[in-house]
Amino acid sequence: MNILSFFVLIPLLMLLGLWLAKSLNQVKGVMVTGASLLLLLAVYLTVDYISLRNAGETAEMLFTQSVEWYAPLHICYSVGVDGISVVMLLLSAIIVFTGTFASWKLQPLTKEYFLWFTLLSTGVFGFFISTDLFTMFMFYEVALIPMYLLIGVWGSGRKEYAAMKLTLMLMGGSAFLLIGILGIFYGAGGETMNLLEIAKLHIPSSMQYIFFPLVFLGFGVLGALFPFHTWSPDGHASAPTAVSMLHAGVLMKLGGYGCFRVAMYLMPEGTAVWGDFFLVLTTISVVYGAFSAIVQTDLKYINAYSSVSHCGLVLFALLMMTRVSATGAILQMLSHGLMTALFFALIGMIYGRTHTRDIRQMSGLMKIMPFLSVGYVIAGLANLGLPGLSGFIAEMTVFVGSFQNADLFHRVCTIIATTSIVITAVYILRVVGKILYGTCKNPEHLKLTDATWDERLAVICLIVAVAGLGLAPYWVSNVISGSVEPIISQLIR
Partner 1 sequence: MDVTMIFSMQNELSLIAVLVIVLLADLILKRPNHKALQNLTCVLMLIHIALNVVPQTVDLFGGMYHSTPMASAVKTILSVGTLLVFMQSGQWLGREDTQHKAGEFYVLTLSTLLGMFFMVSAGSFVMFYVGLELASIPMACLVAFDKYRHHSAEAGAKFILNSMFSSAIMLYGLSFVYGTCGTTYFADLPQLLTGTPLQIMAMVFFFAGLGFKLSLVPFHMWTPDTYQGAPTPVSGYLSVISKGAAAFALMSILLKVFGNMVDNWSLLLSVVIVITITVANLFAILQENLKRFMAYSSISQAGYIMLAVLAGSEQGMSSLVYYIVVYIVANLAVFGVIGAVEQQTGGKVDRDTYNGLYRTNPKLTFVMTLALFSLAGIPPFAGFFSKFFVFASAFHSGYWIVVFLALINTIISLYYYLLIVKAMYITPSDAPVPTFRTPRMMRASLFLCLLGIVLLGICSGVFDWLTDLSVR
CB nearer to partner 1: give 172 or 468: 172
Minimum CB distance to partner 1, residue 74 (Å): 11
Q: 273-280 — which CB contacts under 8 Å span 24+ positions?
A: 273/208, 273/209, 273/212, 274/209, 274/212, 274/213, 274/216, 275/319, 275/321, 276/409, 277/213, 278/213, 278/216, 278/220, 278/225, 278/315, 278/319, 279/316, 279/319, 279/320, 279/409, 279/410, 279/413, 280/413
Least distance CB 141 / partner 1 (angstroms): 5
Closest CA to 286 of 216, 225, 219: 225
Contact residues for partner 1, defined by CB under 8 A: 69-73, 134, 138-139, 141-142, 145, 148-149, 152-153, 159-160, 164, 167-168, 171-172, 175-176, 178-179, 182-183, 185-186, 190
> Minimum Å distance from CB 183 to partner 1?
7
Cα–Cα distance, 259 to 229 (Å, whole number): 15
Is the CB of 50 or the CB of 171 nearer to partner 1?
Answer: 171
State in angstroms the smallest separation of the CB of 149 from partner 1: 6
CB of 144 to partner 1, least distance (A): 8
Q: Provide, rounded to whole angstroms, the least separation between the CB of residue 274 and partner 1.
A: 17
Give the shortest CB-9-to-partner 1 separation in angstroms: 14
> Cβ(171)–Cβ(146) under 8 Å?
no
Q: How far is the CB of 194 from partner 1 (least distance, A)?
A: 16
Nearer to partner 1, 134 or 343 (CB): 134
Three-state DSSP state, 132: strand
Sequence-ordered list of residues with C-beta below 8 angstroms from that of 441, at least 6 positions apart, any chain: 363, 364
Comparison of 118 and 405: residue with beta carbon closer to partner 1: 118
Task: Give the nearer residue to partner 1 in terms of CB position, either 127 or 288.
Answer: 127
The whole-angstrom separation of Cα 69 and Cα 111 is 32
Q: How many CB atoms lie within 10 A of CB 454?
A: 17
- Please say which residue, 69 or 371, places its beta carbon nearer to partner 1: 69
Residue 417 CA to residue 169 CA, distance in Å, equals 26
Instruction: Provide φ and ψ at 79, rounded to 5°.
Output: -125, 160
Interior/surface letters 167-202, b for 16+ CB within 10 angstroms, e for the rest = bebbeebbebbbebbebbbebbeeebbbbbbbbeee
For partner 1, the closer of residues 164 and 386 by Cβ is 164
Identify which of residues 118 and 424 has a Cβ nearer to partner 1 in the complex. 118
Distance between CA 312 and CA 300 in Å, rounded?
18
The amino acid sitting at 344 is F
